[in-house]
Every structure is written in structure tokens, then in C-alpha cells.
Amino acid sequence: MSARREVLLWSAQRASAALLALCVTVHLATMIYAAHSGLSAAQILERTRGNLAWLGFYSVFLLAVVVHVPIGLRAVLAEWLGWRGASRDWLLAAFAAVLAWLGARAILGVFL
């Protein structure tokens, strides 16, 4: 039913946003720290490889991103491109899958 689906998407968007607020804070802080310390890529990778705590954190981060980004784009596609309906939602699901796959590869590459 349309009302329930819209409520679910809205709730998922806001919940993932709240989670991302925490994740982005940590991410920005670490990026500023890394830039401030003048760390090279090799040095960063030294610290991240084998670090399961960070792997866990970025996995949660990725999950929130995979929920948040497609739902956000859904409104943009509907309102600015006039694209509504099932085909739009299928494309967004595919985009979510691509994001999840690329993100998982990135996490494995950096943290494992």
C-alpha cells in the first residue's frame, strides 16, 4: 500500500541519516587528522590494514550509505526528470547494488 511504502522509505531515509551523522563526523575527523598529520597513502594503509574495528565501522557506514543515497535520488528523479514508477525503483535498486559491491571491495582492500 502506497502510504505504508512511503512511510517505510521516509523512515529508512531519516534513520540512515541519523546513523550517517555519526559516521560522517568520525570520517571527517579522521580525514582532517590524516591531512593534518601529513600522512601518506602508504602510512594510512599501514594503520588500516588488519584493523577489524575500523572494518566494522566502515561496514556500518557503507550500509547506511547504500540505504540513504538511492532513496535520496528517488525524489530527485521523480521531481526533476519526471521519472516515477517501477522502472525508476529498479534502476535505484541496481545502483544500490553497485554501490554495495564497490564499497565492499573498497573496505576489503583498505582494511583487510
Partner 1 sequence: MSMLQLRVWRGGPRGGEFQSFEVPRQASQSVLDVVTYIQRSLDPTLAYRFACRVGMCGSCAMTVNGVARWTCRTHVDQVCADGRLELKPLANLPVIRDLVADMREFFDKWARARGRFAGRRTRHDDFERVAPESEARRQVDAAIECIGCAVCYSSCDVVAWNPDYLGPAALNRAWTLLRDVRDDAQTERLRAVAGDAGCHACHTHLSCSERCPKHISPTAGIAGLKRAAAAAALWGEL
Partner 2 sequence: MNPALRARNHPGYWAFLVHRASGILLALYLPAHFWVLGLALHNAARLDAFLRWTDQPLVRFGEWGLVLLLAAHFSGGLRLLALEFLPWREWHKSLAAVAAGVSLALALAFALAL
Regarding 36 and contact with partner 1 (CB under 8 A), the answer is no
Regarding 7 and contact with partner 1 (CB under 8 A), the answer is yes
69 binds, among partner 1, partner 2, none (CB under 5 to 8 A by kind): partner 2
For 5, 20, 31, 92, the CA distances from 83, given in Å and listed in that order, are 18, 27, 37, 12
> Quick check: 107 and 59 in contact, CB under 8 A?
yes
Q: Residue 58 CB: number of other CB atoms within 10 A?
A: 22
2 binds, among partner 1, partner 2, none (CB under 5 to 8 A by kind): partner 1
DSSP 3-state assignment of 70?
helix
Binding site for partner 2 (CB under 8 A): 14, 17-18, 20-21, 24-25, 28, 31-33, 35-36, 40-41, 45, 65, 69, 72-73, 76, 98-99, 102-103, 105-106, 108-110
Amino acid at 100: A
